[in-house]
Amino acid sequence: MRIALVGFVLRRVHHNLWQLFWTHVLTCGTVAMTLFVFGAFMLVEINLTHLLKDWGEQIQLTAYLAKKLEPAALQALLKRVETLPEVERVRHISQEQAWRDFQSALGAQSSLLEGLPRDVLPASLEISLKPARHDGTVVQQLAQRLKEEKAITIVDYPQEWVEGLELIVLAVEWAKWIFGGVLFLATFFIVGSTVKLAMLARQAEVEIMQLVGASEELIQAPFVLEGMIQGVVGGAVALALLWVGYLSLKNETTSLAGFLAPLGQIQFLDWQNIALLLVIGWLLGATASVISLRRFLKTWNSSRGER
């Protein structure tokens, strides 16, 4: 397209955006709401995945030992476990240590333990895994291998809990596409209707442009560009709303402690996701306007005998 035509298209877009200003604002608002909901799902998904990773990295296996284990047998067992490829560190908790830990955990209620023998709690091994070895199957296989040791009676690990969280992340991802899909479809029709309204408002102009020899591309370009602008502006507004939502949520969660502490470090969308949201807005605006425009022009032209 020649530079003069680019200038012409831009002038038409500027004129048209002002002519139907509030219609365009409403359409941008609809695009923004759709992308906001989609972006919110993205945020939840990203942070749940982050949380899962964080918790996963803290997974420890606890192997409870049989009573009266000879020191030599214990040393041999520690050595065997330490040399396993998945294992980062092994810590032996003696019966005495377990008793003290339990006592301090009970705090003021530690008197409840009076009268109980000090060797009531079993000794155990606390096993930390190497990074990138937190995969559910790997943990399960390791637990199985540990159970084969005669000196180990029970192996405990929070696998079910982690798997449950994985399921939640999966559900969020699905919900993102299902809700997003329905909203995209609705927005698609709304953007298309705005283009139709714009076409109706400029029917006379389009007819004259056709009669004086304007190409179809030139006639359609301002409408498509307007659709794209609506999509990108809608995307930008959605991102701004998400940012505000993110900041207020971050303020609320910084004071969380314990296993909820990672929630205090919630993350915003990374640049790839920001770009994705803007591209989705852009594509939504462009495709909705192209399809709506083609359909409208086809019906309109054939009603006037134009081919």
Q: Which two tokens stand for residue 247?
A: 């900041």
Q: Which window, 70-78, 137-145, 204-212, 225-233, contacts other proteins (CB under 8 A)?
A: 204-212
Given a contact cutoff of 8 angstroms between Cβ atoms, the answer to whether 267 and 50 are in contact is: yes
- Residue 215 in contact with other proteins, rule: CB under 8 A: yes
Residues in contact with 72: Cβ distance below 8 Å, sequence separation at least 6, in sequence order: none
Of 22, 204, 255, 303, which one interacts with other proteins (CB under 8 A)? 204
Q: Which window, 38-46, 143-151, 211-219, 238-246, contacts other proteins (CB under 8 A)?
A: 211-219
- Residue 306 in contact with other proteins, rule: CB under 8 A: yes
- Residue 20 in contact with other proteins, rule: CB under 8 A: no
Nearest distance in Å: CB 192, other proteins: 22
- Of 132 and 204, nearer to other proteins (C-beta) is 204
- Of 85 and 305, nearer to other proteins (C-beta) is 305
Distance of CA 17 to the CA centre of its chain: 34
Residues in contact with 13: Cβ distance below 8 Å, sequence separation at least 6, in sequence order: 222, 225, 226, 229
Other C-beta atoms within 10 Å of 217: how many?
Answer: 11
Given a contact cutoff of 8 angstroms between Cβ atoms, the answer to whether 54 and 261 are in contact is: no
- Residue 8 in contact with other proteins, rule: CB under 8 A: yes
Q: Which window, 103-111, 122-130, 202-210, 222-230, contacts other proteins (CB under 8 A)?
A: 202-210
Given a contact cutoff of 8 angstroms between Cβ atoms, the answer to whether 124 and 93 are in contact is: yes
- Residue 4 in contact with other proteins, rule: CB under 8 A: yes
Cα 244 to Cα 39, 72, 93, 229, 233: the distances in Å are: 13, 61, 47, 23, 17
Q: Which window, 42-50, 65-73, 200-208, 226-234, contacts other proteins (CB under 8 A)?
A: 200-208
CA-wise closest residue to 61 among 79, 32, 87: 87
Site size for other proteins (CB under 8 A): 23
- Residue 303 in contact with other proteins, rule: CB under 8 A: no
What's the one-letter identity of residue 30?
A: T
Given the rule CB under 8 A, which residues bind other proteins? 2, 4-5, 7-8, 11, 204-205, 207-216, 218, 304-307
